[in-house]
Every structure is written in C-alpha cells, then in structure tokens.
Amino acid sequence: MATATAKTVQIKIKRQDAPAGNPHWEEYELPWRAGMNVISSLMEIAATGQTKDGHETSAITYDANCLEEVCGSCAMVINGKVRMACSALIDKLDQPITVEPLKKFPVVRDLRVDRSVLFENLKRVKAWVPLDGTYDLGEGPRQSMTLQEELYPISRCISCCSCMEACPQFNDDTNFVGAATIAQVKLFNSHPTGESLKRERLDALMGDGGIHECGYAQNCVEVCPKEIQLTKAISEVSRDVMVQAVGDLFRK
Amino acid sequence: MAASESTISGVQPLRAGEGNSFLWRRLHSLSGIIPIGAFLLEHFLSNAAAIQGPAAYAEQVRFLNSLPLVPVLEFFGIYLPITYHGLYGIYIWLRGKNNVTEYPWTGNWLYTSQRWTGIVAFLYMGYHVYTQRFSGIHLGTHPEAAFGKVQAELLNPWILAFYVAGIVAASWHFAYGVWLFCAKWGITTGQRAQKWLGYICLLLAIALIGGGLATLAAFRSAPVQSPASQVETQLR
Ligand code: SF4
Ligand code: SF4
Ligand code: FES
C-alpha cells in the first residue's frame, strides 16, 4: 500500500549508461496521483528531470508502447520480480519501489534490454504457418471450436520474455530456449497448416538448450502476464519430442 | 540444420540439431525411475523385513543373494545408474540459476528441494554402500550377520541421524521425481492431472518415509545382536 505520508511516491531505479556501463541506483520522489503505474511514473520523472535530492539527471531509457499489456515491451524487474511496468500499479506496490532492467538479458541502456534471443529462438523452431504466397490458396482449413479455445490463449503471447527471466534454467550456462518458444511450437504444431513443419520444430527442440533443459520450477507459468498454460505446453511438446525421438531410433 | 552462428550477446539461442544433451538429460530422468526408483522400492520393502525380526531379515538377505548374477545386477542395476544419476544431477544443479529467494513459489521450492535432497541421498548412499557392502563382514556370504551389522551401526546416534536424513531425502527425491518424470515425459500434462499426481506422490513420500523410519525403529528396539565385528573375528 502506498504510504499516505505527504502523498508522495518513492522510486529507486537502477541505471546504466551503456551496455558495459556501471549499474547504479538513482532515487526519485513524485507527487502521488490516483491510478499511477510504473510507466506513467517514468514519464513524470522524464518531465521533471530531477532526482529526489534535486540533482538534474538524464532521461531514463526504457521500452514501452501500448500501455495496456499487449505489446510486451515493458517487462522489468519491479520490487524484485519480473512484471509488466505498464500494468504495475503504484498503489499496489511496497515503497520505495525498485525498478531494474531484466537480469537475464543484455542491458542496452537503463531499463532497456535486448531481447532478440526470443526472436532468434522463434526462427529456429520455425514458429510460423508456412505459405509460399505464389498463388491464392483460398480459405485455410477449419479449426474446431475446441482447438480454437485451446490455442487462442497461446496465440496471445506478447513476447515479453518474463517467462524466461524468471526461469532458473534460462541462463548463459544452459542457453535454454525458454517457455515462450516451446508454447509457440505447440501453437503452430497444432495448427492444421502449421502442422506440416511439426517434425522440424520437434527436431529443433532436441538440440542443445532444448526442451529437456526445463526443470519444472514452474516460475514461467506464475509470471506470464497472459496466463498462458506454459507448463502444460511444455509437458505436451515434451511428449511429442520424446515420441519422435524414440520413433527416430527405428526410422533413421 | 544447425545454422546457429549467433551475433547476439547474453543467453544464446537454441542450437537446433546440435549436441547430445537431449539424450543424456532424458537418460538421467529415466534412470531415476528405472532402475534406481524400482530398486529403491525393493530395498525399502526388503529392509522392512527387519520389522519381523532378525530371522526374517536374514532370510530376506539370503534370498536376495541367491538371485543369479548378483554382481552384474548390482553393477548395472545399482552402482552404474546411481553414479550416473548423481553426477549428472550435480552437473544439472550447477547449471541452474536458483532464484527461490526472488520467486518463492511452491514449484520453485520443489525444484530447489530436488537438488538438496538429491545431494543428501547421494552422499548417504555412498556412505551406506561403503559401510554395509564393502567393509566389515560380507553379508552375501553371511546373511545371518545382517541384522547385527546394521544394528551396530545404528547404535551411534549420529549415524542414526544420518540414516534418518538419507531415508527422508531419498524418499522425497524419488516421490517428487515420479511427479517430474510424468510431467517431463508428457504423461500428466494438465493442471488438474498434475495436482492429483502431486497428492499421490506426497502419499508415496509419506509412505516411504514412514516405512523407512519404522524399519530403523525395529533395528533400534530389538535386543542387541552379536555385533558384526565379533562375528567377523570369530570367522577369521
Ligand atoms: S517450468 Fe521449465 S521453463 Fe518454466 S520456469 Fe521452470 S524450468 Fe523454466
Ligand atoms: S509466454 Fe507469457 S511470459 Fe512468456 S513471452 Fe509470452 S506472454 Fe510473456
Ligand atoms: S507497454 Fe505494452 S505491455 Fe507494457
């Protein structure tokens, strides 16, 4: 709960000027207003350009776009846990609020990190529906209502990388692919057209850093802002990978 | 495949089509159930014969040692898989970045406990195999000395405590290992199924711990048998 004393908001932000720069904390104080969230607070800090003790400071770099938890760009470590900054309401956070960049991704500057590893991973598992685009294929195959209901939530992934940030297995020793990519494999493998690349996707997940690195800590499913059933996706894709691996012993 | 030259820094992308980690990791998972888990159940059950007294216990030890190819069974069914499972498990542990302080949730606690119970059980097994199998009187040829040999060890309260720790750790590690196996091999996938399996595995853990402790109690409460060392000196 916000401390009502003098109606201010105390925020500590971990800043860093360059990818190799020295991380350091800066403190800010803002007048409290109803409905504030972490992004709106960052905007106010940019407007005043001052730290708590009145020093002038540079603008804080961060990613944010939609401000309604659909673009996925604003994931940050807030009060020690990864979450979307735009939906992190100030009134629901203990103060002083600490805001840090994601810890498992290279910092570009301040709160902005480079999350291209997820894009790379999605490419490596071919997370798309293959279409050659040279002629009109007409309508796609129909999906049953049940299938739609199962897949729609997974299609809501916003590539925020929270699941990877919170995963103990996602680090530079394992170079684990992470839950989001595995869930997308399930999505595209279950799609009537996307299915044609199923073998290749499952093969990719058997490579180093693949699905087997998951240790079922289940943090991913706890932090996913879109409440995607990530552990279910991991178990199901895991079974498909296993079935294919065992089958290949006899086929190849 | 394997176009995995990456120019990004930090955690690297998936190395599609490269390496053997899939095989080793799945072998680790499987070996925990078969043969290690199967042996664990057998071992708890066999030892529970102690509850029926020294004679029944000796009979059980005699029976097990009458199985054909005991050394081969021991090597391929017990020593090799446990050594592999233990060492590879430590390797897995070292590569994980534990964050249960930041994210103190049940699944994450279980993930952490699986590592600690694993190491306790592994160290305990090393000690237990050394003292009961490779030192002192050989029980394969002297099954009648088995009860007394275990009993002599358990008279020391520190060793008794180590046995309790070993039993609790191995039981927990195995029971949660069954749960993990079912999740990782896609046997239980949905939340409801995983929750129910969780309860079943909890019961399994309680049953194993209860059985193990009852067995220890049987050794402690029975009148002290002639200590193994004495039998051994008589034999020399
Ligand atoms: S369940 Fe797997 S992917 Fe999810 S946080 Fe745990 S180890 Fe990571
Ligand atoms: S699966 Fe959830 S946590 Fe992971 S990137 Fe997608 S939306 Fe974010
Ligand atoms: S700004 Fe788009 S998710 Fe937060």
Residue B132 in domain: yes
DSSP A194: G
Could you tell me the residue range of the domain that residue B167 belongs to?
23-235
Rg of the Cα atoms in chain B:
21
Assess whether pLDDT exceeds 60 at residue B38. yes
Residue B181 in domain: yes
* Atom of ligand 3 at shortest range from CA of A87: 4
Is A102 a pocket residue for ligand 2 (Cβ < 6 Å)?
no
Q: Residues 134-173, chain B: which have Cβ within 8 Å of A? A: none
Assess whether pLDDT exceeds 50 at residue B233. no
A56: phi then psi, degrees, rounded to nearest 5? -75, 145
Report pLDDT digits (tens) over A7-25. Answer: 899 999 999 999 998 999 9
pLDDT at residue number B2? 43
Task: Output the CA A84–ligand 3 centroid distance in Å.
Answer: 6
Q: Residues 83-112, chain A: which have Cβ within 8 Å of B? A: 104-106
pLDDT at residue number B66? 95
B103 touches chain A (CB under 8 A): yes
Which fold, A116-131+143-251? Fumarate Reductase Iron-sulfur Protein; Chain B, domain 2 (1.10.1060)
Residue B218 in domain: yes
Residue B10 in domain: no
From chain A, the residues in CB contact with B107 under 8 A are 216-219, 221-222
DSSP letters, chain B, are: ---------SSPPPBTT--SHHHHHHHHHHHIIIIIIHHHHHHHHHHGGGGG-HHHHHHHHHHHHTSTTHHHHHIIIIIHHHHHHHHHHHHHHHHS---TTTS--HHHHHHHHHHHHHHHHHHHHHHHHHHHHSSSS-TTT-GGGHHHHHHHHHTSHHHHHHHHHHHHHHHHHHHHHHHHHHHHTTSS-SHHHHHHHHHHHHHHHHHHHHHHHHHHHHHHHSPPPPPHHHHHHHH-
Give the ipTM. 0.91
Find the residue in B nearest to A164 (Cα). B11
What average pLDDT score do residues B202-216 get?
A: 98
Report pLDDT digits (tens) over B100-127. Answer: 999 999 999 999 999 999 999 999 999 9
Residue B5 in domain: no
Instruction: Please give the interface size between A and B, counted as residue pairs whose CB atoms are below 8 Å apart.
Output: 173
Instruction: Compare CB distances from B96 to A168, A209, A241 and report the shortest one's residue.
Output: A168
Report pLDDT digits (tens) over B147-188. Answer: 999 999 999 999 999 999 999 999 999 999 999 999 999 999
Residue holding tokens 């900054």? A85
Domain at A8-113, CATH homologous superfamily: Beta-grasp domain (3.10.20.30)
Burial class of residue A107 (count of CB atoms within 10 Å of its CB; 0-12, 13-18, 19+): buried
Residue spans per domain, chain A: 8-113, 116-131+143-251
Assess whether pLDDT exceeds 90 at residue B231. no
Residue B7 in domain: no
DSSP A223: H
Tell me if A216 sits within 8 A of B22, measured CB to CB: no
Assess whether pLDDT exceeds 80 at residue B3. no
Assess whether pLDDT exceeds 80 at residue B96. yes
Find the helix or strand (DSSP H, E) in which A245 lies: helix A230-251
Q: Residues 78-97, chain B: which have Cβ within 8 Å of A? A: 92, 94-97
Residue B188 in domain: yes
DSSP A112: E
Residue B84 in domain: yes
* Atom of ligand 1 at shortest range from CA of B107: 6
Task: Output the CA B218–ligand 3 centroid distance in Å.
Answer: 63
Residue of A184, A224, A230 best suited for mutating to test ligand 1, as the one with most atoms within 8 Å of CB: A230
Q: Residues 17-36, chain A: which have Cβ within 8 Å of B? A: 19
Tell me if A97 sits within 8 A of A79, measured CB to CB: yes
pTM exceeds cut of 0.95:
no
Interatomic CA distance for residues A80 and B213, integer angstroms: 41
Which residues of chain A fall below pLDDT 70? 1-6
Same fold, A8-113 and A116-131+143-251: no
pLDDT at residue number A93? 98
Find the residue in A nearest to B107 (Cα). A217
Q: For residue A170, give how far its alpha carbon lies from the nearest alpha carbon of chain B (Å).
A: 8
What percentage of residues in chain B have a pLDDT greater than 70?
93
pLDDT at residue number B104? 97
CATH for B71: 1.20.1300.10
Task: Output the CA A105–ligand 3 centroid distance in Å.
Answer: 18
Both structure tokens of B36: 């290690």
Report pLDDT digits (tens) over B41-88. Answer: 999 999 999 999 999 999 999 999 999 999 999 999 999 999 999 999
Task: Output the CA A206–ligand 2 centroid distance in Å.
Answer: 21
